[in-house]
């Protein structure tokens, strides 16, 4: 579990591969503050941030945490990313000593991202994703197509690499990004046609692009997307009327219409959905602030 505040991250759970950021692999039963998360511009070496009430710059503020199965990404308001945990598949964004070691102390993801401003991140077991303020998409890790480009067999991409997705750079057309272990979803405002690498899933207010290389047509119509989250092989899509739909991207069913299932209706007496997350179950957040649990 991860709890995020503007200047600190608290985590607990199974600590394998150092994914909790505590310089060890111990299981943590109650939320504990992660040390060594100071922004590199404000501290010359890794160290504790201090108390939550300590004065800090805007650059230090954490805006998003993305959790892979065995690694963690931290995005700061400055556009900087730090990562820690397993690097078995190159998902940390840099090479460790023997390319498969875990990184117990958070380190900055630089390389091609060093002078860029990242505004969104996502992570899965095998790969990581970043979106810049100029609408460039960068991915890294291990790929069966979800990185958006072809790699040599069993060769991870250890540093961020730009995906050839042509989007306008003058406006913030990328609304959000999320990923399962084998697919990446990018939600954009600008209409984009399907190509060999990018499959346009819907043509409503927003377009969701599934980034993976597969020779199959996608004919799924999910109009007016508000947000997309991912987990357990599904993308959970919230739409404007308060419905929640699941898109199964890992099943063998070739009929894409059969891969989409509505799990929540905005017309229910419990109210419209405004958010959701998916894991072993689907959790739906309604407009009244209530949370409901749904079996997959």
The structure's pTM equals 0.81
User: How does 145-167 read in b/e, with b if 16+ C-beta sit within 10 Å?
Assistant: bbbbeebeeeebbbbbbbbebeb
Mean pLDDT of 261-267: 93
pLDDT at residue 47, as a whole number: 34
pLDDT at 50 over 60: no
**Rounded distance between C-alpha atoms, residue 141 and residue 96, angstroms:** 13
Bridge partners, 281 (sequence order) = 295
Contact yes or no for 119/135 (Cβ under 8 A) = no
Mean pLDDT of 32-47: 55
pLDDT at 289 over 90: yes
* Least trusted range by pLDDT, from 194-203, 216-225, 230-239: 194-203
State the sign of the Cα–Cα–Cα–Cα dihedral 123, 124, 128, 133: negative
pLDDT at residue 98, as a whole number: 59
Mean pLDDT of 131-159: 86
pLDDT at residue 219, as a whole number: 52
Share of the chain above pLDDT 90, in %: 29
Q: What is the pLDDT of residues 61-98, one digit of tens each?
A: 888 999 998 999 999 989 999 999 999 999 999 987 65
Mean pLDDT of 200-229: 59
| DSSP-based three-state secondary structure for 16 | helix
Contacts of 230 (CB under 8 A, 6+ apart): 122, 124, 178, 179, 180, 183, 185, 236, 278
**Rounded distance between C-alpha atoms, residue 171 and residue 173, angstroms:** 6
Q: Checking DSSP bridges between strand 103-109 and strand 81-85, what pairing results, if any?
A: antiparallel
pLDDT at residue 46, as a whole number: 33
Mean pLDDT of 229-248: 89
**Rounded distance between C-alpha atoms, residue 231 and residue 226, angstroms:** 17
pLDDT category of residue 8 using cuts at 50, 70 and 90: confident
Contact yes or no for 147/157 (Cβ under 8 A) = yes
pLDDT at 215 over 60: no
Mean pLDDT of 260-283: 92
**Rounded distance between C-alpha atoms, residue 193 and residue 79, angstroms:** 29
């Amino acid at each position: 579990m991860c709890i995020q505040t503007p200047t600190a991250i608290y985590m607990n759970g199974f600590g394998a591969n150092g994914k909790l950021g505590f310089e060890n692999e111990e299981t943590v039963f109650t939320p504990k503050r992660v040390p060594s998360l100071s922004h590199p511009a404000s501290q010359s070496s890794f160290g504790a941030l201090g108390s939550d009430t300590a004065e800090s710059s805007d650059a230090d503020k954490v805006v998003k945490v993305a959790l892979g199965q065995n690694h963690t990404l931290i995005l700061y308001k400055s556009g900087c990313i730090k990562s820690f945990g397993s690097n078995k598949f190159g998902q940390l964004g840099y090479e460790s000593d023997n390319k498969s070691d875990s990184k117990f102390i958070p380190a900055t993801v630089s390389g091609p991202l060093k002078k860029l401003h990242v505004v969104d991140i996502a992570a899965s077991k095998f790969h990581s994703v970043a979106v810049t303020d100029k609408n460039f998409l960068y991915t890294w890790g291990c790929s069966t197509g979800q990185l958006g480009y072809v790699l040599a067999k069993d060769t991870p991409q250890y540093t961020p690499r730009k995906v050839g997705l042509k989007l306008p750079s003058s406006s913030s057309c990328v609304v959000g990004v999320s990923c399962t272990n084998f697919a990446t979803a990018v939600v954009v405002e600008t209409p984009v046609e399907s190509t060999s690498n990018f499959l346009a899933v819907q043509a409503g207010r927003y377009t969701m692009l599934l980034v993976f290389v597969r020779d199959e047509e996608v004919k799924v119509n999910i109009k007016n997307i508000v947000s997309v989250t991912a987990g357990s092989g599904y993308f959970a899509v919230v739409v404007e009327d308060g419905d929640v739909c699941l898109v199964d991207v890992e099943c063998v069913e070739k009929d894409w219409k059969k891969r989409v299932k509505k799990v929540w209706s905005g017309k229910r007496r419990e109210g419209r959905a405004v958010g959701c997350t998916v894991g072993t179950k689907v959790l739906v957040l309604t407009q009244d602030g209530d949370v409901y649990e749904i079996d997959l």
